[in-house]
Chain A
């Protein structure tokens, strides 16, 4: 296994409170040393990170790899290549595949294929309920043993509160956090965007913020009742932020993530019916967007996750109402997040934390999320001032569905190193 000596970069490792012009030595797939020295040890290949930030390998705790079952949209190979290109060293894949990751054998399939073909690390998330149907518990213990890092019925809420309570209680025995997609199905109805002035103007059925907030409130109450670790997926409203803030103050074990698109766009973006702006939860209002940015900056929202949802063009060319929900997000995550740094809404250190230390802590990933010696040599080296234009046709992801196509952006991964191996060099 090769050794690398990364020099001339700004090393930011929030987990070890490191920030400075340092060098990083990688050997045997592990971080061996972070040092002020610029002299490469014998046998180590030098990577010149001038102008770049050297960060713990980014972790995306919420992606859809569509494998098994919908490989025409994405598979583990294409999805992890997209992740590596986007600066991610690890992705956690949601279980709403076909079949659903609700038992050990499907989790093992994902890990085995990722081990063979994955450019990045892949950690499966198991489903809370069998088939993701919300009716009966999955084999949560088996999923944990097979290597799942959390459970979630992402895509919908477990509407049966009794079942959700039992699943949360049960999961604590295996140390797994429960990731909740918060959406009251009856209240959301068949909505396709945020309920607000824009949905009224466009004549599209709207999903009120309350449909999310009701479930956030319920799941926080259940976390308090059960002592389970609750993680709120893709927080999208001001009210959700407020609920999380209050729960954290009261010491309830709740964490949250936000997507780059909810930090960037509002429901105004839907105005020309671009199906690429159709996401779930929907793009919300400017007031919501601001509240999310503030909550991310002050730590109320812990992590940034893409909710990478690749679709084939045939799933999007249907007209807005019939189009599938989701954005192919892996390859635009970094510049969208960096735009907030450029606008001084977020510090670079906080951004790195939200993409590394925070997801590692939430999911209990040992040896990840830090550049401490002995950690896995997962490293993201990115140039925050590299300017480029988003061109979906050149995505490594099979999903070309992005509302950011043609956007001029800043910030790009130069190297993504996964367990001491260069997974991407840009």
Chain B
């Protein structure tokens, strides 16, 4: 098994078959994390560098655990802790330096959209985009899809609502692309200021002015984090208003299907986009997403390197 792509920069790099391969591989890896000794020798001797030019504790930890469980040698670069990636050295300079140390995979998180794609031109290593600006976060979308498939037992035809700051969300972009590719139907909702221009046409999704209008038909509801720093940028008047008109509370769910799955890429603002009783309620699969995260990352690391030993 191998993927049709050298890098995972965007969901667009993956064929439908690639996605199914990743999900199947991730399912078999999920079992490893259940063992008392959570380690297999699969990627022994391979070098992975986690380049987190933008802070992210959970994604980074998820990748690190995935690498360790596959016995890869991994190192980390962070924006603050290193002379590299600081002012004065361009992104490509940093990548060329790392390239000289012959890594097999670079996992790149960067605040600038397209940074991993640019880096791909400067190295022979495979690249996994771990989130670039507002552009994409493909492994997050893959773990979201895996979670959905795990709890629903299927994907095609499921109706997914994504609510919140679609405009600034790389997760929403990757989710929309991936869900559409795999035959799910997506409706996005949120304040009109946070719905990007032409999103219907660009991503083939529906836009609802109020998610409550479509809630009864949804199988999955994905709530995105509201970034409080957006408050100063006039996207919405106050966190209170946001919670009142765009947040989801237990009351709203009365009209929803019994088996509606509530998801959230985290970190959760309890009381803003999602009420505490919903986040921690029986329909929530938020922690399941985190578990799938490690498995999906093990899968993509393995599949990108799996059959390249003879190169």
Identify the A interface with B (CB < 8 A).
195-197, 199-206, 208, 272-273, 275, 313-314, 317-322
Contacts and interface: CB of A to CB of B under 8 A. Distances in A.
Interface string B119-161: 0000000000000111110000000000000000000000000
Please report whether the interface of chain A is mostly helix, strand, loop or mixed according to DSSP: loop
A206 B93 contact: no
Interface string B49-85: 0000000000000000000000000000000000000
A40 B258 CA distance: 95
B114 interface: yes
A202 B111 CA distance: 13
A204 B92 contact: no
B202 A200 contact: yes
Contacts of A204: 113-114, 133-135
Contact of B118 (A195, A196, A205, A273): A273
Given A200-B197, A204-B135, A320 B91 contact: no
A201 B172 CA distance: 11
Contact of B197 (A196, A320, A321, A322): A196
A205 B112 contact: no
B202 A320 contact: no
A197 B202 contact: yes
Interface string B162-177: 0000000010010000
The 4 closest A-B pairs by CB, nearest first: A273-B114, A319-B112, A203-B134, A317-B90
7 contacts: A199-B196, A202-B114, A204-B133, A205-B134, A317-B90, A317-B91, A320-B118
A196 B198 contact: yes
Interface string B257-281: 0000000000000000000000000
B198 A319 contact: no
B7 interface: no
A203 B92 CA distance: 21
B197 A199 contact: yes
B118 A319 contact: yes
B302 to A, nearest CB: 28
B202 A203 contact: no
B201 interface: yes
A313 B96 CA distance: 15
Contacts of B256: none
B223 interface: no
Nearest to A204: B113
Given A196-B198, A200-B203, A273-B118, 19 more contacts: A195-B197, A197-B197, A197-B201, A199-B196, A199-B197, A200-B196, A202-B114, A203-B113, A203-B136, A204-B135, A273-B117, A313-B90, A314-B90, A317-B91, A319-B91, A319-B110, A319-B115, A321-B111, A322-B112
A318 B198 CA distance: 28
Given A273-B113, A273-B117, A200 B198 contact: yes
Contacts of B113: 202-204, 273, 319-321
A318 B135 contact: no
A203 B112 contact: no
B184 interface: no
Interface of B: 90-93, 110-115, 117-118, 132-136, 170, 173, 196-199, 201-203
Contacts of B110: 319
Contact of A200 (B93, B114, B136, B199): B199
Contacts of A206: 197
Contacts of B118: 273, 275, 317, 319-320
Contacts of A197: 197-198, 201-202
A321 B202 contact: no
A109 to B, nearest CB: 30
Contacts of B92: 317
* Central interface residue in B110, B115, B203, by most chain A CB within 10 Å: B115
B112 A321 contact: yes
Given A319-B112, A322-B112, A203 B91 contact: no
Contacts of A318: 90-91, 112
A319 B197 contact: no
B93 A317 contact: yes
Contacts of A199: 196-197
A184 to B, nearest CB: 15
B90 to A, nearest CB: 4
A317 B132 CA distance: 16
A157 B111 CA distance: 28
Contacts of A195: 197
B117 A203 contact: no
A190 to B, nearest CB: 10
B112 A320 contact: yes
A203 B198 contact: no
A319 B114 contact: yes
Contact of A320 (B93, B114, B196): B114
A359 to B, nearest CB: 35
Contact of B173 (A203, A272, A317): A203
Given A273-B114, A320-B113, A320-B114, A202 B90 contact: no
Nearest to A275: B118
A203 B203 CA distance: 12
Nearest to B92: A317
* Central interface residue in B90, B136, B173, by most chain A CB within 10 Å: B90
Nearest to B12: A201
A378 B185 CA distance: 64
B144 to A, nearest CB: 17
B206 to A, nearest CB: 15
A318 B91 CA distance: 6
B235 to A, nearest CB: 11
A204 B111 CA distance: 11
A195 B199 CA distance: 12
Contacts of B201: 197
A108 to B, nearest CB: 35
B101 to A, nearest CB: 20
Contacts of A272: 114, 117
Nearest to B136: A203
A200 B173 CA distance: 9
A206 B114 CA distance: 15
Contacts of A322: 112
B180 to A, nearest CB: 12
* Central interface residue in A196, A202, A208, A313, by most chain B CB within 10 Å: A202
Nearest to B122: A317
Contacts of A200: 196-199, 202-203
A95 to B, nearest CB: 28
Contacts of A320: 112-114, 118
A208 B135 CA distance: 19
Contacts of B133: 203-204, 319, 321
